[in-house]
Structure 1
Amino acid sequence: MVWEVLERALRGRAAALGDAAVLDVLDTGGGTGNFAVPVARLGHRVTVVDPSPNALFALERRAAEAGVADRVNGVQGDILGLFEVVERGGYDAVLCHGVLEYVDDPAEGLRNAVEALRPAGALSLLAAGLGGAVLARALAGHFTEARHALTDPAGRWGEGDPVPRRFTVELLTELVEKAGAEVGAVHGVRVFSDLVPGVLVDTQPGALDALLKLEAAAAEQPSFHSVASQLHVLGEKRA
């Protein structure tokens, strides 16, 4: 679902600049290229900034195998020091997927992501949702942990929680707007997938396809955003 939304946004941005426009795309924390390589396959130039040299090595190999090595550039760095390694205001689209959960200052990180955009550039933001974690812990019978996540300022269910921070829709959209971007759309990601036993999907014919269609139908419904495992916000930098 995230890829479909992102692809539409890139096509829209390219059409606004001219149908044959090649976009400059920045993928912060892009790791091994799960999104960067497909974006490059669309014909765009992609810069991936990631703190892990191992991830960047895997990105280079993956881009080469996909035949897009000439359009993918990996740079070691992080979002808080973004302009030490990339140009401010130099990109038509910025991806910030799975980053804000792990940085010390999410507001500063998001400001950097938006400042890397050209006017009217597209922001794709994906972050962990609080409600999905609370619901998952409760359904697993961990009621104390669920309550802890619900009341914890960072949305963590305990010391063993591998995710340092989670967000509500309200908090995430507020961060986007304060960073200088307009919120265009919000989608709930993995509303049901993390709750459905894998055996049901694996053993019932057509179950996976039906689940994916259900996820797509629920993604744009605001009533399901509060229980999604992840939240996707599509924004646009103010001119």
Structure 2
Amino acid sequence: MSDPQRPRASLRTAVVWDVLEDALDRRVKATGQGALDVLDTGGGSGNFAVPVARLGHRVTVVDPSPNALFALERRAAEAGVADRVRGVQGDIHGLFDVVERGGYDAVLCHGVLEYVEDPAEGVRHAVEALRPSGALSLLAAGLGGAVLARALAGHFTEARNALTDPAGRWGEGDPVPRRFTAEQLTEAVEAAGVEVGAVHGVRVFADLVPGVLVDTEPGALDALLKLEAAAAELPAFRSVATQLHVLGEKRG
């Protein structure tokens, strides 16, 4: 399978992309459609939307940033998929002011829940945008990865703060407003009417490995990608991942 962001940035997307590509392929076979309607809420400049469009699907990106949507338009044009990518300004809470409820075969909600006031409502809206049996791809910041990273950097008090803070923040200077455990995300998804198919740890090792090692050591990048893929679904490693990915299917 191809990865949308090789080589260096693939460490941030490889596991999610492989899982997502498989999920879209299954939806194509289940629906008998050659092309799916995909919604990417918070999709920004198209890190996933453009590769999804390259697979032949129609993608609507909802994002609050005009600059990101302008970059999306340019990126889609450069990739030759401008006719299959549509950008709309909006956010997850006001989602149905700009897109159709129940109009999509798959919804991507990546890097959104960390920044919204009501994550549960955000999940509900993402699910409500799906057609019956549609696929949900949810990616959010993981608590365990932040705790481990602060501890390994020698910031032990900040690590403890993240571990005990209700939002998973390590202090006032923390740029991430909220982090989650795998249990919190799966509970939110299931409560919104989705059957969870898999939970993956993303960037289990990538953020802890010195970049110079990956960039200069022959074969290191591919070896690290394989290690990430092997650890992604193991619960012991999910608990220390920088991000958590939940894949599920809307019930009925």
Question: Which range, TM-score by smaller chain?
Answer: over 0.9
Distance 2:188 2:236 in 1: 21
Query: How far apart are residue 203 of structure 1 and its match?
Result: 3.0
Task: Summarize deviations over 1:149-195 as a string: whole Å, max 9, x none.
Answer: 00000000000000000000000000000111110000000000111
Distance 1:56 1:199 in 2: 32
Match of 1:64 among 69, 77, 83: 77
Query: How far apart are residue 200 of structure 1 and its match?
Result: 2.1
Q: Does 1:135 align with 2:148?
A: yes
TM-score, length-normalised on structure 1? 0.98
Distance 2:235 2:147 in 1: 18
Match of 1:5 among 19, 30, 49: 19
Give the ranges of 4+ consecutive aligned residues of structure 1 lying more than 4 Å apart after TM superposition.
Answer: none
Distance 1:7 1:209 in 2: 19
- Helix, strand or coil for the counterpart of 1:101? helix
What are the within-5 Å matches in structure 2 for residues 192-231 of structure 1?
A: 192-231=205-244
- The aligned amino acid for 1:230 is Q
For structure 1, the residue ranges without an aligned partner over 5 or more in a row are none
Task: Summarize deviations over 1:7-55 as a string: whole Å, max 9, x none.
Answer: 000000000011x521000000000000000010111100000000110
Q: 2:105 maps to what in 1?
A: 92
- The aligned amino acid for 2:213 is L
Q: 1:54 maps to what in 2?
A: 67
Equivalenced residue count is 238
Match of 2:204 among 171, 185, 191: 191
- Helix, strand or coil for the counterpart of 1:153? coil
Query: How far apart are residue 202 of structure 1 and its match?
Result: 2.6
Distance 1:204 1:25 in 2: 38
Distance 2:102 2:169 in 1: 34
Distance 1:5 1:184 in 2: 11
Computed over aligned residues only, the root mean square deviation of the Cα atoms, in angstroms, reads: 0.7
Q: 2:184 maps to what in 1?
A: 171
Distance 1:203 1:49 in 2: 38
What are the within-5 Å matches in structure 2 for residues 81-120 of structure 1?
A: 81-120=94-133
- Helix, strand or coil for the counterpart of 2:75? helix
For structure 2, the residue ranges without an aligned partner over 5 or more in a row are 1-14
Q: Does 1:123 align with 2:133?
A: no
Q: 2:7 maps to what in 1?
A: none
Distance 1:141 1:45 in 2: 46
- Helix, strand or coil for the counterpart of 1:176? helix
Task: Give the fraction of aligned pairs with identical amino acids, expressed as a percent.
Answer: 87
TM-score, length-normalised on structure 2? 0.93
- The aligned amino acid for 2:97 is E
What are the within-5 Å matches in structure 2 for residues 156-167 of structure 1?
A: 156-167=169-180
Query: How far apart are residue 206 of structure 1 and its match?
Result: 1.3
- The aligned amino acid for 1:101 is E
